[in-house]
Amino acid sequence: MTDAGRAGLHIAVAAALAVAAVLVLPGALELFALINATVWAAMALLALSLAFAWGAGGILCFGQTAFFGLGGYAYAVAGINFGDGALAVLPALTVATLAAAALGWVMFYGRVGDVYMGVITLTVTLILFKFANSTAGEQWRIGAAALGGFNGIPQTPPLNWPGDPANPLTPEQVFVVAVLCLFGCYAAVKLVLLTRFGRVAVAIKENELRAELLGYDVRAHRLGVFTIGGAMAGLAGVVFANCVFVSPSMFSLAYAGQVVIWVLVGGVGTYVGPMAACVALQALASWAGTVPGFDPNLLLGGVLLAAVLAVPRGLLPTAQDLLGRLRPSRRRPAEPKIAPAE
Amino acid sequence: MSAPLLATEGLTMRFGGVVAVDGVSVSVEEGELRCLIGPNGAGKSTFFRCLTGQYRPTSGRVLWRGRDVTGQDPFRLARLGIGIKTQVPALFDGLPVVEGVRLAARRLHGERESRRLADAALGRLGIAHLADRPAGLLAHGQRQLAELATVVAPRPDLVILDEPTAGMGTEETARTAGLIRELNRDHAVIVVEHDMQFIRAIARTVTVFHQGRVLMQDSADRVLSDPRVRDVYLGRAAA
Ligand SMILES: Nc1ncnc2c1ncn2[C@@H]1O[C@H](COP(=O)(O)OP(=O)(O)OP(=O)(O)O)[C@@H](O)[C@H]1O
Ligand SMILES: [Mg+2]
């Protein structure tokens, strides 16, 4: 199958799953569970955003939550000021995208090494965490929106139909929006990977020097990938703000670390893997939370340790390998044809 | 007279106390086939890294068709039309060989044309059967051929080959020599080789590097029979 054919198939399957989720879950789940599912969709989108930056760009970003939180906060602030959630989406995405572009520009054009990139991005999200926590009090407001310090912004406005701020979306509708965002971004990632830009980005991850010697601008490509990842994280923040409300914890080390774990467990270089790992690990954590005397963080740490030790490449690539071994004819290339002489 | 395709003027590259390239002035004409020889550590690869922007020369200039391009980024120099096969093959290890060659052509050509150029390059090098294999799984000689295909697919004006036949068998070496001659029909080529047989087979002008400087430059016959060159290769101090 061609790459385009395979991507089309993946997108079609994802579309079917999205439609099924949208049709079935709102009716089948209690309100609380549905809101929870919406949060998971937001988190899965966050996982996807890092899976893209890391998998397609080879960019080790430990602070993907910086753009997640910025997107959420910008949405809340703009929504409160406009009195219209729909109008706040674009500013929120703009803020997250510009923040990623600015940080990426400093890192890539400053020729920061990979390890430092991890440190810098983590530091940025922790600085934002500190900052957001310190914004308690009346002096910290942007227009009508009080940033609220440790408490965040409980009055984060819900989305509404464009031009109709009096009619906020119901939790069911927010869930549908979340699923559509997740599916849309997944399809976008798959399509971007088919373009020359996406293929060059992957090639750069494989061998930066070779790409550069072929005339490709490595820094511009990495900046592009990082910025797209930041924009998706910002969108995840907007969705998250619609089911919970924005607070400094969006920038926290706990979240930043979890995103990395989801991608590692799911498999760097895959996209379904990190999303699935995100949902599975959150389901596991929320189940563990109901078991008295059990620490969900301990469980998460255990899973990460087990995953890194037992399936170092992540669950999805390992599963694919196992499948491939069961059907050997699929992966092995045809044996040497006679080379056509020219 | 028009400016040479590529020229260096007093090109120097210092690493702390080591002067790897020491005031080298050479020029290569459009369409020329030039051999560069010299013992290990003579500075050949470092010289190439200066030409392709991987190193910013400590001093001196690099001129491309008379234009000063010293210290430009590698991708900009590549866009001028300089392609290089590095001494240690640089390939997209996780990608199928053909994808790397396609991407090489894709910068200048459309998708369909890139596919055609990639297939042609792989066929010419006799590695069409390796097209779908991940580059990282190839044997050393195959890697060399795969990288050659990648470098020549976009048909750069100047092709630099740093020890292209290292790790190749006799048959692959002969095929590579043929390819270089064929390439040279409409591209300038600079090639580094240690194999004197090979040099004799392809070379017109040979430049000899020794300790970062140009020891001599002349026809292949005269260079290969020069006692100084023999001394240098046998490790005796050059006169
Ligand atoms: N990055 C570097 N830092 C320090 N010294 C270097 C560096 N690169 C090259 N050198 C030194 O510069 C000199 C020239 O090395 P270079 O690799 O250019 O030689 P060469 O002619 O390509 O040799 P070979 O035939 O072994 O490939 C050597 O003494 C080497 O140790
Ligand atoms: Mg060398």
CATH number of domain containing B210: 3.40.50.300
| Atom 18, ligand 1: residue with shortest CA distance | B43
- Which member of B91, B123, B133 has the closest CB to residue A342? B123
- pLDDT confidence of residue A327: 61
pLDDT at B1: 60
CA within 13 Å, CB half, A184: 11
Structural domain boundaries, residue B58: 6-91+157-233
- pTM for the whole thing? 0.89
Mean pLDDT, range A191-211, rounded to an integer = 95
Residue B115 is assigned to a structural domain of this protein:
no
Pocket of ligand 1 from Cβ distances under 6 Å: B 15, 18, 20, 38, 40-46, 87
Non-local CB neighbours of B232 within 8 Å, separated by 6+ positions: B38, B39, B208, B210, B215, B238
- A141 contact B CB<8A: no
DSSP string, A217-239: -HHHHHHHHHHHHHHHHHHHHHH
Q: Is the ipTM of this complex over 0.85?
A: yes
Structural domain count, chain B: 1
pLDDT at A2: 80
Residues A213-254: tens digit of each pLDDT: 999 999 999 999 999 999 999 999 999 999 888 999 999 998
Residue B12 counted as domain residue: yes
Please check whether residue B149 lies inside any domain of the structure.
no
pLDDT of A248 reads 94
Dmax of chain B from CA atoms? 56
Distance CA A43, CA A200 (A): 28
CA B87 to centroid of ligand 2, rounded, Å: 6
Amino acid (1-letter code) at residue A101: A
Which residues in chain B show pLDDT less than 70?
Answer: 1, 234-239
* DSSP type of residue A339: P
Strands B6-15, B59-64: pairing is: antiparallel
Asked if residue B148 is part of any domain, the answer here is no
